[in-house]
Structure 1
Amino acid sequence: MYWDGGGWAWMAFMPLLWIVLIGLVVWAAVHLVRRPSGDQGGGTDRGWASGGTSRETPEEILDRRFASGEIDADAYHEARRHLSSYRARPE
């Protein structure tokens, strides 16, 4: 009627199982919250989600938009001039 083999082992194992399970849920929640919504997992990892401090500079964004054809050469050069004058001002 009663099984007397290894009951103490399950009593020791169950708290460890719950600790691991709760830790896994917390890790997954943090990992999902920290991932930017537009990230599809491809390309380079940039920004705060990767744990690094490197972020895309305004110049890099401008270069990328010009390279992809979002803006034309005139808008690109105007924005470059504006960014360089903004960076040249003392804080």
Structure 2
Amino acid sequence: MFFHDGSFGGMHLIWWIIWMAFIIWIFFIPTDIPYQKPKKEKPLDILKNRFAKGEISKEEFEESKKLLNSDN
């Protein structure tokens, strides 16, 4: 396990790699963290959800969709 000079060899490097992997995981991997701000829904997505739930009719959906697309 020890080399002639008393060092562990690559063990120091392995710990640095483990710590760097842990830090990268903390900042980049978790996507649904509790208490994270929800992503904003686009108006067209909200309109599609309301149509899918049956809250608005097809005519209302088409009319609102045309109105939203004309703003862009």
* Mapping 1:36-51, distance limit 5 Å: 36-37=32-33
Quick check: 1:66 aligned with 2:51?
yes
Identity %: 19
State the TM-score, normalizing by the size of structure 2: 0.50
3-state SS of 2:25 partner: helix
Number of residue pairs aligned between Structure 1 and Structure 2: 64
CA distance in 1, matches of 2:50, 2:33: 20
User: Could you say which residue in structure 2 is the equivalent of 1:78?
Assistant: 60
- Relative contact order, CA 8 A, sep 6+: which one is greater? 2
**Which residues in structure 2 correspond to 1:13-52 (within 5 Å)?**
13-30=10-27, 31-32=29-30, 35-37=31-33
- What are the superposed Cα offsets for residues 44-80 of structure 1, whole Å, 9 maximum, x if unpaired? xxxxxxxxxxxx865455445533x3x3342x53243
Unmatched tracts of structure 2, length 5 or more? 35-40
Which one has the bigger helix percentage?
Answer: 1
Separation in 1, partners of 2:68, 2:13: 57
